[in-house]
């Protein structure tokens, strides 16, 4: 399936030297936890033609640890751990996805809610745009709307992340070669229930895009030649895609499907490519304190990472970088004073807390029936009463399941903790140590020998 491999970056070990350039840290400065075994590649200056930037939104070390217990063995990224990165934004110690993404895409801090602009409102060049300037093909993949904050920061510049209709226009104008995710509503006119004055999908077709809307159409979309100006647009839902737990009941592709097809298309460019892949809904699971959603969407993200590393192993010139943008929910490993955690128990849960809450009748008299139908747990009378009387039954169900799995939560919002950085491929050791989120695109640009500067 894969003809050629590029670089996927996960973390860096570069520091800013006295002369303003990026230099490699000495081995002695690397923390003990920065990976294990032999380095992925021997030399720090090996050729990098392609970068695959993989962002598990909302993910941190607690998610990684719980997922390892959920899976029963190390995740694919565990052996590629390089370091940590700091996430604070220009105006807050706790970032949102727009500010974090802007920093991770451009190397410039900005204020929460801002996309692709610095704190003074000036446009900043992104690693995707710099790659395009170098003649490389580019792609964006997400399980949210493709116009959501994280994908948006790579190919648009707006004051508010909520302006997804304008983001869609700018993404098309930016000639991103592959865009796959949800968000059809932001590409079609109001007459068709959308947010635009004109039909951007039809406009995209006129500009060389093949448009697909189902998993089958995506996998069958052959003969897309980016060298000849052909591109791929996949919008698989009006809004975001479904959570992974019920994706199979739809015609929507998996995150690994979208990653694989993106690489198939982009690898045809002899000048190389840049691809960003976001596991968007890990973050949304954290906001809902839903351990089932979190673990199953992390599993889907790992399957996508496996596709990327598989390609990188064959290609030899591809850097794969894996780093979340922030943590969401304050997930803990263990809860309620118990010295244990059992996230593997959620493997047999068949619906998100939100989906279960929607099945409750008006007086919530069917709590026991609904929850026991979708989980392996037996509710006590006290459990039933707690959910019946809760102001938010969704959160009550999720906290019940979390308690059973001994997974804790401290927030329903983002937190400000440092985030693990993983990397595989040439120059992957450049991501070692304690970094800032602004360092990540700078190291990628240095690896690809491209300029990344303010617009």
DSSP 8-state secondary structure symbol assigned to residue 186: G
CATH class of 333-408: mainly alpha
Digit-coded pLDDT (tens) for 409-435: 999 999 999 999 999 999 999 999 999
CA 451 to chain centre: 24
When pLDDT is cut at 50, 70 and 90, the band that residue 213 belongs to is: very high
Structure tokens that stand for 47 in this block: 């050729």
Find the DSSP H helices in 122-253: 127-133, 149-155, 164-173, 200-206, 215-220
- Residue 180 has a pLDDT of 98
Q: What is the pLDDT of residues 35-47, one digit of tens each?
A: 333 334 434 478 8
pLDDT at residue 25 tops 60: no
**Residue 242 tokens, joined:** 């479904």
Which residue in the block uniquely carries the two structure tokens 């496996």?
Answer: 306
3-state secondary structure 405-452: HCEECCCCCEECCCEEEEEECCCHHHECEEEECCHHHHHHHHHHCCCC
User: Is the pLDDT higher at 146 or at 248?
Assistant: 146
Q: pLDDT tens for residues 288-335?
A: 999 999 999 999 999 999 999 999 999 999 999 999 999 999 999 999
Confidence band of 16 (pLDDT split at 50, 70, 90):
very low
Which DSSP helix (H) or strand (E) runs through 66? helix 61-71
The reported pLDDT for the residue numbered 248 is: 83
Q: What is the pLDDT of residue 9?
A: 45
Query: What is the arithmetic mean of pLDDT over 370-380?
Result: 97
Q: Which of 219, 218, 262 is nearest to 237 (CA)?
A: 218
**Cα 146 to chain centroid, rounded:** 11
* 388 close to 275: Cβ distance less than 8 angstroms: no
Position 453 scores a pLDDT of: 76
Which residues form the catalytic set? 97
Amino acid 294: pLDDT: 98
Q: What is the pLDDT of residue 292?
A: 98
**Is 154 in contact with 126 (CB distance < 8 Å)?**
yes
Residue 4 has pLDDT above 70, yes or no: no
Round the average pLDDT of the chain to a whole number and report it.
91
Q: How far apart are CA 109 and CA 193, in angstroms?
A: 36
Q: Could you tell me the pLDDT band of residue 223, with boundaries at 50, 70 and 90? A: confident
The number of residues making up the chain comes to: 455
Pick left, alpha or beta for residue 86 (phi over 0 → left; psi -120 to 50 → alpha; otherwise beta).
Answer: beta
Q: What dihedral do alpha carbons 56, 278, 241, 413 form, nearest 10°?
A: 40
Relative to beta strand 332-333, strand 407-408 is antiparallel
Phi, psi of 346 (to 5 degrees): -80, -5
Residue 105's Cβ-side half-sphere holds a number of Cα atoms within 13 Å equal to 34
Query: Of the candidates 174, 193, 150, which has an alpha carbon nearest to the alpha carbon of residue 59?
Result: 150
Higher-confidence residue of 333 and 21: namely 333
Candidates 3.20.20.70, 1.10.10.10, 2.60.40.1730, 3.40.720.10; CATH matching 7-329+411-448? 3.40.720.10
Q: What is the pLDDT of residues 100-116, one digit of tens each?
A: 999 999 999 999 999 99
Cα–Cα distance for residue pair 64/327, rounded to 1 Å: 11
pLDDT band at 354 (very low <50, low <70, confident <90, very high): very high
pTM, entire model:
0.89
Label each residue of 313-325 as H, E or C.
HHHCCEEEEEECC
Residue with tokens 């090996």: 46
User: Picking from 31-45, 372-386, 393-407, 432-446, which range would have the lowest pLDDT averaged per residue?
Assistant: 31-45
**Is residue 276's pLDDT more than 90?**
yes
Domain residue extents for the chain:
7-329+411-448, 333-408
């Amino acid at each position: 399936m894969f003809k050629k491999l590029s670089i996927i970056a996960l973390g860096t070990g570069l520091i800013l030297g006295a002369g303003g350039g990026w230099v490699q840290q000495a081995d002695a400065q690397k923390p003990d936890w920065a990976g294990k075994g032999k380095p992925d590649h021997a030399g720090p200056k090996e050729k990098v033609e392609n970068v695959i930037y993989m962002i598990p939104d909302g993910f941190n070390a607690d998610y990684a640890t719980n997922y390892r217990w959920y899976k029963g063995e190390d995740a694919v990224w565990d052996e590629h751990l390089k370091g940590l990165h700091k996430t604070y934004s220009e105006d807050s110690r706790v970032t949102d996805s727009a500010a974090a993404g802007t920093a991770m895409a451009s190397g410039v801090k900005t204020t929460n809610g801002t996309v692709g602009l610095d704190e003074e409102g000036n446009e900043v060049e992104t690693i995707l745009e710099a790659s395009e300037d170098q003649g490389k093909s580019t792609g964006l993949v997400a399980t949210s709307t493709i116009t959501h904050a994280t994908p948006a920061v790579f190919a648009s510049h707006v004051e508010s992340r909520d302006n997804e209709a304008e983001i869609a226009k700018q993404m098309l104008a930016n000639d991103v070669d592959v865009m796959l995710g949800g968000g059809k509503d932001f590409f079609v006119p109001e007459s068709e229930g959308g947010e635009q004055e004109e039909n951007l999908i039809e406009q995209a077709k006129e500009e060389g895009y093949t448009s697909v809307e189902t998993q089958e159409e995506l996998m069958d979309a052959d003969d897309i030649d980016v060298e000849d100006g052909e591109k791929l647009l996949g919008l698989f839902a009006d809004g975001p895609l479904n959570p992974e737990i019920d994706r199979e009941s739809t015609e929507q592709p998996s995150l690994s499907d979208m990653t694989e097809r993106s690489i198939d298309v982009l690898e045809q460019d002899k000048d190389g490519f840049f691809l960003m892949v976001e596991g968007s809904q890990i973050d949304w699971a954290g906001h809902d304190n839903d351990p089932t959603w979190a673990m199953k969407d992390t599993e889907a993200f790992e399957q996508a990472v496996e596709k990327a590393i598989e390609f990188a192993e064959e290609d030899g010139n591809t850097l794969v970088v894996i780093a979340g943008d922030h943590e969401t929910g304050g997930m803990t490993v263990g809860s309620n004073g118990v010295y244990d955690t059992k996230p593997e128990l959620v493997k047999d849960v068949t619906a998100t807390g939100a989906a279960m809450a929607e099945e409750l009748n008006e007086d919530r008299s069917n709590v026991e029936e609904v929850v026991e139908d979708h989980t392996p747990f037996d509710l006590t009378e006290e459990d039933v009463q707690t959910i019946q009387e809760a102001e938010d039954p969704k959160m009550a169900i999720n906290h019940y399941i979390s308690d059973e799995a001994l997974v804790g939560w401290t927030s329903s919002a983002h937190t400000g903790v440092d985030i693990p950085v993983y990397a595989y491929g040439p120059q992957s050791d450049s991501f070692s140590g304690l970094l800032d989120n602004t360092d990540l695109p700078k190291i990628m640009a240095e690896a690809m020998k491209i300029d990344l500067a303010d617009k």
